[in-house]
């Protein structure tokens, strides 16, 4: 079975509603992520960005609507879901590196778990992934010996270990200094283009992320409030978009409230 068989968009959501418990977090979501693109999903903290990602990986089953990833509806059955997840590289904010394994061993982990490749081949693949993130010499280092930026690069190398066609980044810049931020954002862009990936970057770091994005999606108030190119976004005179871009606390986006409460 080939997961990535057709040329449908990498991700397509139609009429999607996502609930957590009895609360509706997002509703009326219609969204297409073109293959090969870097899409920035922007929005204030708590607006539901991570919730949206959970629907793409099948962690969260939508209360309504359809979610398609790589041309297929996200499956419910565990076995098919695991198969789909091999096609999605995920980088989470906390990196999720195992502290008692070296960088190389961390990167080897998905290869050991999901393939039957011989040890020597895995070692070679790990070297290549380390090289891809500019850390060829760091394979034997433990996570505690790495700077924040280097640790995130190791996590990135692990996320691409199985050569997934779709990459999902949840707040990849959080906690990084400005130099590491530049390194990571450029790496995300470079890997997308060199490896022919599709990348979705969920972030509140608007100004760092827009320069490498082909598409921008802004979420607020329980849904998508903007979708278009970064240039169109910057030029938008929508007060909601401008409020978000300028980081103003007062305006049509209720920054510190749940999507259900009315904006003051």
Minimum Å gap between C-beta 251 and ligand ADP is: 18
Q: Residues 214-243 vs Mg ion: string with x where CB under 5 A?
A: ------------------------------
Question: Which of 20-28, 32-40, 44-52, 193-201 is the region at the interface with Mg ion (rule: CB under 5 A)?
Answer: 44-52
- CB of 253 vs ligand ADP, minimal distance in Å: 12
Q: Which of 133, 198, 210, 196 is nearest to 169 (CA)?
A: 198
Task: Lay out the sheet containing 64-69: strands in order across.
Answer: 23-33, 11-20, 64-69, 72-73
Q: Does 222 bind ligand ADP (CB under 6 A)?
A: no
Helix 178-195 and helix 148-159, axial crossing angle in degrees, nearest 10 = 20
- Regarding 129 and contact with ligand ADP (CB under 6 A), the answer is no
Alpha-carbon span 195 to 104, nearest angstrom? 20
* Strand 166-170 versus strand 198-203 pairing type: parallel
Q: Quick one: which segment of 8-16, 38-46, 85-93, 106-114 binds ligand ADP (CB under 6 A)?
A: 38-46
- Residue 198 contacts Mg ion per CB under 5 A: no
Query: Measuring CA to CA, which residue among 18, 16, 37, 40 is closest to residue 28?
Result: 16
Question: Cα–chain-centroid distance for residue 199?
Answer: 7
DSSP assignment, residue 62? -
Structure tokens at 30: 């219609």
* Window of 41-49, 94-102, 133-141, 150-158 that interacts with ligand ADP by CB under 6 A: 41-49
**CB of residue 182 to ligand ADP, shortest distance in Å:** 23
Is 50 a binder of Mg ion (CB under 5 A)?
yes
Q: Which two tokens stand for residue 123?
A: 């070692």
x-marked contacts with ligand ADP along 45-84 as a string, rule CB under 6 A: xxxxxxx---------------------------------
Of 260, 205, 206, residue with least CA distance to 26: 260
20 binds ligand ADP (CB under 6 A): yes
Q: Which residues bind ligand ADP (CB under 6 A)?
A: 20-21, 25, 43, 45-51, 258
Q: Which residues bind Mg ion (CB under 5 A)?
A: 49-50
């Amino acid at each position: 079975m080939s997961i990535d068989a057709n040329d449908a968009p990498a991700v397509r959501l139609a009429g999607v509603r996502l609930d957590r418990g009895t609360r509706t977090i997002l509703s009326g979501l219609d969204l297409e992520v073109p293959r090969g693109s870097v899409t920035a999903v922007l929005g204030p903290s708590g607006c539901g960005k991570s919730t949206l990602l959970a629907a793409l990986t099948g962690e969260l089953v939508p209360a309504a609507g359809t979610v398609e990833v790589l041309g297929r509806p996200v499956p419910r059955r565990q076995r098919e879901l695991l198969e789909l997840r091999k096609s999605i590289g995920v980088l989470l904010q906390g990196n999720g590196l195992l502290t008692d394994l070296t960088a190389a061993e961390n990167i080897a982990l998905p290869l050991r778990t999901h393939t039957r490749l011989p040890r020597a081949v895995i070692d070679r693949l790990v070297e290549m992934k380390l090289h891809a993130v500019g850390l060829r010499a760091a394979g034997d280092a433990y996570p505690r010996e790495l700077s924040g930026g280097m640790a995130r690069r190791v996590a990135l190398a692990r996320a691409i270990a199985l050569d997934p066609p779709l990459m999902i980044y949840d707040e990849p810049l959080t906690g990084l200094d400005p130099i590491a931020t530049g390194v990571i954002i450029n790496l995300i862009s470079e890997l997308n283009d060199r490896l022919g990936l599709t990348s979705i970057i969920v972030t509140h770091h608007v100004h760092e992320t827009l320069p490498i994005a082909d598409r921008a999606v802004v979420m607020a108030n329980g849904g998508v409030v903007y979708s278009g190119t970064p240039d169109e976004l910057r030029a938008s005179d929508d007060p909601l978009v401008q409020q978000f871009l300028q980081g103003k606390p007062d305006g049509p986006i209720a920054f510190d409230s749940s999507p259900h409460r009315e904006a003051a």
